[in-house]
Structure 1
């Protein structure tokens, strides 16, 4: 498939050792700021930098332009979420509905993989417990205009940094960009995604604790344009989450006194997850990404243990809801065959 998103050209003239060396150097440059921030008093900003890195990293697999677009989009949608936190839940649910529909429609260009990493961060900011480091201390992300601005700046810098230096690493990795899906399929995908995340966000904002944003995240990564792929992902998501969460617990127990090492490991696992997402079975991707996200966004040993339990519980809830909706949609489509798409 020919990418229309400014795909990174592949080099066939460099020696393998040269490609490996360049990719390794680029990966080190991408990961370095996270480690530095995690070793400083600005650790909360290390987590934000990491979150800003994720959509840009996934965008790179479709091209530089999409990666830089992801870097700019992520702080905007997160900033809007922070502004909506004190408004009635229906407002936040409507906003998540828009993001869910946008994710589904973006599949027409093959951009839904990137959006599935950007949009959940809006759910984290809206429903979850996000913090930021300022010169005067650590605060909730929505505590003041200054804290919201700092969150957006750090997310932007993390995305731009990743899009800039990560391109040199991705350039050496031979992967196929995400495929575009037909228009009608993307419309059903948009309806399913929008409805699911809107309803879940409303329930979470009204009755559930902050960590319930994991349900929304689960829906973004489980629900897929095609029914067969989505059903496969549900079971693999559960397996990968349990294995990855257990690995995170082991890492924290063994290296809780070495925050820099934990930050570096989380970042490396993220790079591996991004590659696995396009080259390996989905459960491998989840196994890599789960400990990366838990290690980078949770606090101490107790916080990680709670995050592991919450992630397992909310993954099961999100997967169950997704199955019900997708099965109903699939049954409807079987009874109403779609016309031949051109």
Structure 2
């Protein structure tokens, strides 16, 4: 959404405040003793909200159901490296194919959530069975997704639905297969070496930075590294005094998510968005571990992930796939149902 040129974009501000409000019910997970599911709750709300707001209710429900199923499979597969790697590759493959429908930008949090579920399974009930944990996580995913979907459907009812950008089939297949192969291989390494969060950060960076086209990937990689370093400093300033206080860290993360949302919705440069998204994610993840170590891991993982994303597309270009920058096709978006 382009900036209006004013100091404050009021529409973007209202939308980001609404998004912040949608995340606040996740605070109920703390008194319930299942705060490790906060990341999944956050991803579910964002996913449902974006898809329902920018497309339609039917697609949002389908995406939320897929998000829930993917994370449950990922949790069950996480103790088995090969199965976990195949799960990650399969999820990324399906995600990549959505380039043909124009949904990729809105649903990138889905494969990211799977990466974290595999790398560091959120065992919310330590003394219970796998089935009990799956039940709780499934409920969190569904409730979060439906909550975000309901809000997105209401807000998006009167909002214009711009055309969705579709990629040509050739670019879609090359991008999808390459990304699935790389993410699957990295997941296997992560599971075998117990990298946990570090590996998930690498996967997150690859999924966000990798674009169908080397030039776009270089630009986004540079923006992401710049925003990450600045966000790293913000996370330290906010996180050090709050370290060990998960509720305060989560509230601070929600505020930073809101600022990041404003940066995105008001059309600011991508690195502005990453500058606030980075500390937000660091704080919400660090709330269940250690903010300082999470912050430092975030920096090197971003550099590694960005390098891998650019490297893959450079290799594709070297072997003849130069058409990944083909002009995308715009197709009308769906109206809300």
Greater RCO, 1 or 2 (C-alpha within 8 Å, sep 6+):
2
Looking at structure 2, the residues matched to 306 and 196 of structure 1 have their Cα atoms a distance apart, in angstroms, of 26
- Aligned residues of 1:50 and 1:267 also touching (Cα < 8 A): no
CA spacing shift, 1:174–1:333, aligned 2, 3 Å: farther
Residue number in structure 2 paired with 1:214: 201
Whether 1:126 and 2:113 are equivalent positions in the alignment is: no
Q: Structure 1 232/70 Cα, relative in aligned 2: closer, same or farther at 3 Å?
A: same
1:90/1:202 contact within 8 Å kept: yes
Q: After superposition, where does 1:128-143 map in structure 2 within 5 Å? A: 128-132=120-124, 138-139=125-126
Question: Structure 1 length as normaliser, TM-score?
Answer: 0.80
Q: Are 2:68 and 1:75 aligned?
A: yes
How high is the TM-score relative to the length of structure 2? 0.81
Rounded to whole Å, the distance in 2 between the matches of 1:195 and 1:259 is 36
Contact 1:51 1:121 in 2 (8 A): yes
CA distance in 1, matches of 2:328, 2:23: 43
Question: Structure 1: which 5+ residue stretches go unaligned?
Answer: 1-15, 133-137
| 2:149 alignment partner in structure 1 | 163
CA contact (8 A) 1:24 1:169 kept: no
Residue 93 in structure 1 maps to residue 79 in structure 2: no
* SS state at 1:204 partner: helix
How far does residue 258 in structure 1 lie from its aligned partner after superposition?
Answer: 6.7
Task: Give the paired residue count.
Answer: 318
Secondary structure, counterpart of 1:293 in structure 2: helix
**Cα separation, partners in 2 of 1:221 and 1:61, compared to 1, 3 Å:** farther
- Name which of 316, 322, 338 aligns with 2:309: 322
| Superposition deviation, residue 157 in structure 1 | 0.7
- The reply to whether residue 192 of structure 1 matches residue 178 of structure 2 is yes
Q: CA deviation at 1:316?
A: 1.3
Paired residue for 1:111, among 98, 103, 106?
A: 103
Q: Using a 3 Å threshold, how does the CA distance of structure 1 residues 333 and 272 change in structure 2: closer, same or farther?
A: farther
Residues 272-287 of structure 1 correspond to what in structure 2 (within 5 A)? 272-274=259-261, 276-277=263-264, 279-287=267-275
The Cα of 1:285 is off from its aligned counterpart by: 2.0
Cα distance, 1:336–1:62 mapped onto 2, change above 3 Å: closer
SS in 1 for 2:165: coil
SS in structure 2 at match of 1:225: coil
Task: Answer whether contact 1:62 1:178 (CA < 8 A) is retained.
Answer: no
Alpha carbons of 1:231 and 1:44: their partners in 2 closer, same or farther (altered >3 Å)? same
Q: Which residue of 2 is the match for residue 299 of structure 1?
A: 287
Does the Cα contact within 8 Å between 2:166 and 2:328 map onto a contact in 1?
Answer: no
Alpha-carbon separation, structure 1, partners of 2:241 and 2:152? 30
Deviation at 1:84, TM superposition (A): 0.8
Does 2:289 align with 1:289? no
CA RMSD of aligned residues (A): 3.3
Is residue 204 from structure 1 mapped to residue 186 from structure 2 by the alignment? no
Q: Distance in 2 between matches of 1:218 and 1:337?
A: 20
> Which secondary structure state, in structure 2, belongs to the residue aligned with residue 230 of structure 1?
helix
Cα distance in 1 for partners of 2:323, 2:261 equals 36
Give the 3-state SS of the residue equivalent to 1:110 in structure 2.
coil
Aligned equivalents of 2:61 and 2:115: distance in 1?
21
Report matched runs for 1:5-44 at 5 Å. 23=15, 26-27=18-19, 29-38=21-30, 41-44=33-36
For residues 215 and 252 of structure 2, the distance between their equivalents in structure 1, rounded to whole angstroms, comes to 33
For 1:72 and 1:39, how far apart are their aligned partners in 2? 26
Q: Taking structure 1 as reference, are residues 45 and 323 closer, same or farther at Cα in structure 2, changes over 3 Å only?
A: closer
Q: Please give the alpha-carbon distance, in whole angstroms, between the structure 2 residues aligned to 1:249 and 1:339.
A: 41
Per the alignment, residue 332 of structure 1 pairs with 319
Aligned match of 1:4: none
Task: Give how far 1:169 is off.
Answer: 4.6
**Residue 100 of structure 2 contacts residue 172 of structure 2 at CA under 8 Å; is this kept in 1?**
yes
